[in-house]
Homo-oligomer: A and B are copies of this chain.
Amino acid sequence: MPHALPLSSRWLAACGLALALCPAGALAEQTLATVSSPGQVLSVDVRLADDGRLSYQVRRKGKPVIAPSRLGFLLTNAPQLDAGFSLARQSVADHDSTWEQPWGERRHVRDHHRELRLELVQKERGDRRLAIVFRVFDDGVGFRYEFPEQAQLGEAKISDELTEFTVAQPATAWWIPAGELMALEYPIEKTPLSEVGTANTPLTVRTEDGTHIAFHEAALVDYASMWLRKAQGQRLRAQLAPSATGAPVERKGAFTTPWRTMQIADSAAGLYMSDLVLNLNEPNKLGDVSWVKPSKFIGVWWEMHLGRSTWGSGAKHGATTQNTKRHIDFAAKHGFRGVLVEGWNLGWDGNWAGGGADFSFTRSYPDFDLPGLAAYARGKGVRLIGHHETGGNIARYERQMDAAYQLYARLGVDSIKSGYVTDGGGAVFAGPGKRTHFGYTDSQEGVRHFQKAVTEAARHKLAIDTHEPVKDTGLRRTWPNWLSREGARGMEFNAWGNPINGVDHEAKLVFTRMLSGPMDYTPGILSLQGVDGKPIHSTQAKQLANFVVIYSPVAMAADLIETYEKHAGPFQFIKDVPTDWDDTRVINGEIGEYATIARKGRNSADWYVGAVTDGSARALDLPLSFLEAGKRYTAEIYRDGDQADYRTERRHDLVIEKRAVTSADTLKLKLAPGGGQAIRLTPAGG
């Protein structure tokens, strides 16, 4: 193939066409900027090659973490935005502030970073402009692109985002596939990084020297979700979820992309402790959100997964007035704010996941008295939790959404669990005109829908818990009514999954999925059984620990209420544990092996600790230095019995004991194989 460039640039002629055709350093490059985090932990270099291609790299304490990696875009409607750049202007700014979350894993969040802003221009493309902004924290880096208003590019139709992430040291990865049907519910895989296919994010990586990196994005708004696709070796590149109707992303005028984020730490715990993603999101737009209630709930739910009742109508219909009243009574008695009822509305008969064609979001089955039950619940200090399963038919849902929201708001149903189960064919979107089409929920139009469902809900003071969602990118900061999501393999797989969840599932989740935000994991299956009595890979203590280890502001005690009635001992922990926190400390952990987390209840002096392990028994140290010094506490300990083991009947062995402790103590947590431990620490005498 002939050369495009002057012969005096022979290197360029070979390399200029694609950075990856050349070994690193083959191109003459200049460093545009180097910026370090406030504590000099992380540093980012941005370089410009002779052909005007940009790359960035990241170091931690001087050691390469991200090797030179590409930046840029291919467009369908204009020449490429990936080369021929020169620097027009750069600026650096420091930022240090603390903001308060209305709910969350901690109350106060510090945002301390250094920001580098690069304004670039493509002189040979009519001075077309693009900006790239890096924010460098001690515990991570985020960058985004900013497209300004300009005549040279009135609309951007992005076919490929060329952003790459090249991990510098040999590494292991924990990932789930993307671009597969119901991909988020695949088991989390652990493979060498070089064996990643196409992955969703967070994608967590650990290098041979113990550096941990989590790749993700923040503030995913009106853009396609970013998957990560292995290119060559340990080089991942962005893959924008495809659109059914055009380029993956189409935007007019000025806009910014989501932040591409890398949390970087020298331990798994350090990874979790970062607030990078929240800090890169816009502040709360809703103002007073006192109507958003972190709380616990039970539900008419597990019985259907066990096959004892049905979502659809008939003799075994679960969502009946009588069954719901029974649950409301139980909730009231035991202090649960919410009762979720699935299968209440018309449309569950037939093949609903094949496009959800029959769902009504306003009309219930005849045996479910929605207004009556809503009032009955209110009278007992309990709220029904709404349920909108769409079967993936977003077009249909959006047509009914306003009426459905109004109905719930009127009845005092102030939170909704939504669902987007498809039987494999993709979600149904509307447009143009009266037509519909099938596409990915991760697409730009899918992202728009999820956003709209939340902002519209806010107008009615409704909170949303999205199942089968797009990934969480921290938008709960901006829209604090976006309470929780599923977005990974949850407890229901322990009912009927093939396979059921692995014994190391939680220890993987903490350092992968949980880095993105809360998960409605629905823990607390104290029966330790799924369908036909098949045992789940857990002990009792681990089921309790999950309430602390897997964060969600709305947490479901998921088992049958009759099971809880038979397990008053452990059930007490479930009743006590809060879902909103002043502070969170990850005490220890290794991805896929174990994790111990301590959290302080919001507006409380109580601390709660949860520890979980995989198939290996463990003895973990728990220094209580997070307690207030000089104060005496009572530790209510729920631990595995000495013979407990997830593989045997002894999985049910639970010891409940109390101890007096102070902040000077270190507890030794003995976890059984597949086990855990849950502890409530309350000031003695109060």
User: Contact residues of A with B, CB < 8 Å?
Assistant: 1-5, 7, 10-11, 13-18, 20-23, 26, 74-80, 82-83, 124, 157, 159-160, 177, 179-183, 185-186, 189, 191-192, 194-195, 197-198, 229-233, 242, 244-247, 304-305, 307, 310-311, 342-343, 351-355, 389, 391, 419, 421, 423-426, 437-439, 467-468, 486, 490, 492-493, 496-499, 531
A496 in contact with B229 (CB, 8 Å): no
B76, B179, B182, B245: the one within 8 Å of A17 (CB) = B182
- A contacts with B: majority SS: loop
By the criterion CB–CB under 8 Å, are A18 and B247 in contact?
Answer: no
A228 and B21 CA atoms in complex are apart in Å by: 20
Give the complex CA separation of A307 and B186 in angstroms: 54
Give Cα A159–Cα B354 distance, bound, in whole angstroms.
18
- A79-B438, A438-B74 given as contacts; is B124 within 8 A of A351 (CB)? yes
Contact residues in B for A159 (Cβ distance below 8 Å): 242, 244, 426, 438-439
Q: Given known contacts A230-B197, A246-B246, A352-B4, is B83 in contact with A21 (CB within 8 Å)?
A: no
Q: What distance in Å separates the Cβ of A192 from its nearest Cβ neighbour in chain B?
A: 8
- 17 additional A-B residue pairs with CB within 8 Å, beyond A74-B438, A77-B437, A80-B425: A1-B486, A3-B311, A4-B423, A10-B307, A20-B177, A21-B185, A74-B425, A79-B355, A177-B231, A189-B232, A194-B195, A197-B229, A197-B230, A197-B232, A198-B231, A229-B229, A245-B246
For A231, the chain B residues whose CB sits under 8 A away are 177, 180, 197-198
B354 touches A307 (CB 8 A): no
Give A7's nearest chain B residue, CB to CB.
B307
- Cβ contact within 8 Å between B177 and A232: yes
Pairwise interchain contact A82-B424, C-beta atoms closer than 8 A: yes
Minimum distance in angstroms from A354 CB to a CB of chain B: 7
Look across to chain B and name the residue whose beta carbon is closest to the beta carbon of A530. Answer: B10
Query: What B residues does A389 contact at CB under 8 A?
Result: 2
Copies of this protein in the assembly total: 2
Cβ distance A82 to chain B, nearest Cβ, rounded Å: 6
Cβ of B76 and Cβ of A181 under 8 Å apart?
A: no
Tell me the bound Cα distance from A124 to B353 in angstroms: 13
Q: Measured between alpha carbons, how far is A305 from B408 in the docked complex, in Å?
A: 72
Query: CB within 8 A of A244: which of B1, B4, B247?
Result: B247
Q: A187 CB to closest chain B CB, in angstroms?
A: 9
**Closest chain B CB from A529 CB (angstroms):** 14
Q: Among the listed B18, B76, B189, B425, which residue makes an inter-chain contact with A180, where contact means beta carbons less than 8 Å apart?
A: B18
Contacts of A351 in B (CB 8 A): 4-5, 124
What CA separation (Å) do A246 and B439 show in the bound complex?
12
Within the complex, the shortest CB–CB distance from A492 to chain B, in Å, comes to 6
**Are A195 and B195 in contact (CB-based, < 8 A)?**
yes
Could you say which residues of chain B place their CB within 8 Å of the CB of A80?
Answer: 423-426, 438
Residue among A17, A82, A498 with most chain B CB within 10 A:
A498
Nearest chain-B residue to A82 (Cβ)? B424
CB atoms of A14 and B497 under 8 A apart? yes
Q: Which residues of B contact A354 (CB under 8 A)?
A: 4, 79, 124
CB distance from A77 to the nearest CB of B (A): 6
Sample (17) of A-B pairs whose CB atoms are under 8 Å apart? A2-B421, A3-B311, A10-B496, A14-B497, A17-B423, A18-B183, A23-B498, A77-B438, A78-B438, A80-B423, A80-B438, A83-B423, A159-B242, A189-B232, A191-B194, A195-B195, A197-B231
Which residues of the other chain, B, contact A22 by a CB distance below 8 angstroms? Answer: 498
Shortest Cβ gap from A26 to chain B (Å): 5
- Closest CB pairs A-B (n = 3): A4-B353, A80-B425, A76-B244
Give Cα distance in the complex from A354 to B16, angstroms. 12
Known: A21-B185, A76-B244, A307-B10. Contact between A26 and B438, CB under 8 A? no
A426→B74 contact, CB < 8 A:
yes
On whether the beta carbons of B4 and A421 are closer than 8 Å, the reply is yes
With a cutoff of 8 Å between Cβ atoms, the chain B residues found around residue A245 in the complex are 76, 246
Closest to A189 in B: B232
Q: Which of B3, B179, B421 contacts A1 (CB 8 A)?
A: B421
Distance, CA A474 to CA B343, complexed state (A): 55
**Complex contacts, A179 vs chain B, CB 8 Å:** 160
Q: How far is the CB of A501 from chain B (nearest CB, A)?
A: 12
> Could you say which residues of chain B place their CB within 8 Å of the CB of A194?
191, 195
- Give the contacting residue for A182; candidates B11, B21, B76, B77; CB below 8 A: B21
Residues of B within 8 A of A13 (CB): 496
Q: In the assembled complex, which residues on chain B have CB atoms less than 8 Å from the CB atom of A439?
A: 76, 159
For A307, what are the chain B residues with a Cβ–Cβ distance below 8 Å?
7, 10
- Nearest CB on B from A485, distance (A): 12
Q: Is the CB of B11 within 8 A of A498?
A: yes
